[in-house]
Structure 1
Amino acid sequence: MTRNENTPQPTVTPDTTDDPRKGLLKAIALAGRTVAAVRPEQLDGPTPCTEFTVRRLAGHLVAVLRRIALAGRGGDVASLPTLADDLEDTEWQAAWDAAVREVEAAWADPEILGRTLTLPFGSLPGAAAAAVWTSEFTVHTWDVATATGQRPDWDPELVAVAYAAMRRGLPAGPRDDAPFGAAVDVDAEAPAIDRLVAWCGRKP
């Protein structure tokens, strides 16, 4: 399983020398391209995030986008579902594009980075919340890509930010209280994306 908005608050302090909203929007854009490239016959296939098929994972990501937008507007994200399961296959792209526009509008003010946002697992500054969601979208993009035979063009800086956040936010030992499997051993020289997803319990 992977990080979602019910994940306990991480201890990571994101690097605020760069605007973390940029990384979040890059992660969202890559996720959007990856899901858009899924073929219809692949939608009911399994993913490495075992609770989701490809179709349901796409619906989850639309729901997360809507939650990010609501958080940016000062709302309680727990008031929205974690899965947009009412979308027809022909409606997915329009729903995604609309949700992205909502995120961009809700997070347009740079002051949001220092504003306290209410998430299901607690309150976080906007900068830290952006790091959490960047990690979620990056790992889920790998889930979709792996399930459908895609090879995304990973942004090294983005993966590095997500990996650092997950290393600090997830314990190396037992994870009984977190929605993640145990970390998987991977070669220290493995690609950064492999090390990220292995830390999140995937087998790259």
Structure 2
Amino acid sequence: MSAVQDARPQYLTALAQLDRLFATITPADLDRPTPCEEYTLRQLLNHVIGGIHRFAYMGEGGHAQDVVAAIEDPSDDGWTAVLDRARARVTAAWADDSKLGRPTVAPWGEVPGAVAVGGYVMELGTHCWDIATALDNGFVLDDEVAGTALAVAQLILPPESRVEGVPFGAVRPAAEDADVHTRLAAWLGRKA
């Protein structure tokens, strides 16, 4: 991803999609399994909100490794409120255009801010798919977000990068006519 590209609009769209997804979650859903085999839905929501706060912290000038991508779990019906706070924080943290060219310390190393934004579009777009898949309630995901996430994933996570310590499995095959969400999931090693 070029340092001159600005993926903040796609990130904001992904946040809005996540907000709509959260609105469909009931307390009874929280213990469902997810495509992220190590996480129940509750644990995945915790990771996603923690990741948004970590990304906000990076936009505020902090180093990713200084904070854990996790939060203290809210009450079963409090997830929307914690997402609202995280969304406001990350939006403010990355509002300044100059941050796109600024060196930013992401979990995968120091990169220009624009590259960090792209990486977090991939993260959020992928986890939206994970959540929607776990819920299996017919939620329609945004194709543009998934397309941006897939383009970033193909650029920064080539098949040969799937070594121990990389939190993505081997690339799985996807049908040529598969939708962009299925291709994204397959590229990141999920069972679509």
TM-score interval for Structure 1 and Structure 2 normalised by the shorter chain: over 0.9
After superposition, give the CA deviation of every residue in 1:6-25 in whole Å (9 maximum; x if it has no partner). xxxxxx33662xx3111111
Structure 1 CA distance, aligned partners of 2:8 and 2:62?
Answer: 18
> Which structure 1 segments of 5+ residues have no match?
1-11
- Pairing partner for 1:163 from 137, 142, 150: 150
1:109 maps to which residue?
96
Structure 1 CA distance, aligned partners of 2:157 and 2:108?
Answer: 14
Q: How far did residue 121 of structure 1 move?
A: 2.0
Structure 2 CA distance, aligned partners of 1:15 and 1:30?
Answer: 25
Structure 1 CA distance, aligned partners of 2:63 and 2:161?
Answer: 30
1:46 maps to which residue?
33
8 Å contact kept, 2:26–2:77: no
- Pairing partner for 1:73 from 60, 75, 87: 60
TM superposition score normalised by structure 2 = 0.92
1:5 maps to which residue?
none
After superposition, give the CA deviation of every residue in 1:82-105 in whole Å (9 maximum; x if it has no partner). 221432223322111011111111
Q: How far did residue 37 of structure 1 move?
A: 1.0
Q: Does 1:13 align with 2:2?
A: yes
Q: How far did residue 106 of structure 1 move?
A: 1.0
1:121 maps to which residue?
108
Q: Does 1:144 align with 2:131?
A: yes
Structure 2 CA distance, aligned partners of 1:90 and 1:160?
Answer: 31
1:6 maps to which residue?
none
TM superposition score normalised by structure 1 = 0.87
SS of 1:56's partner is helix
1:4 maps to which residue?
none
RMSD after superposition? 1.6
8 Å contact kept, 1:184–1:201: yes
> Which structure 2 segments of 5+ residues have no match?
none
* Structure having greater relative contact order (Cα 8 Å, sep ≥ 6): 1
8 Å contact kept, 2:3–2:112: no
Q: Does 1:192 align with 2:180?
A: yes
SS of 2:21's partner is helix
SS of 1:184's partner is coil
Structure 2 CA distance, aligned partners of 1:121 and 1:87?
Answer: 28
After superposition, give the CA deviation of every residue in 1:36-61 in whole Å (9 maximum; x if it has no partner). 31122110011000111001111111
Structure 2 CA distance, aligned partners of 1:30 and 1:59?
Answer: 17
8 Å contact kept, 2:17–2:142: no
Structure 2 CA distance, aligned partners of 1:85 and 1:198?
Answer: 31
Structure 1 CA distance, aligned partners of 2:149 and 2:160?
Answer: 19
- Corresponding pairs, count: 191
Taking every aligned residue pair, what percent have the same amino acid on both sides?
37
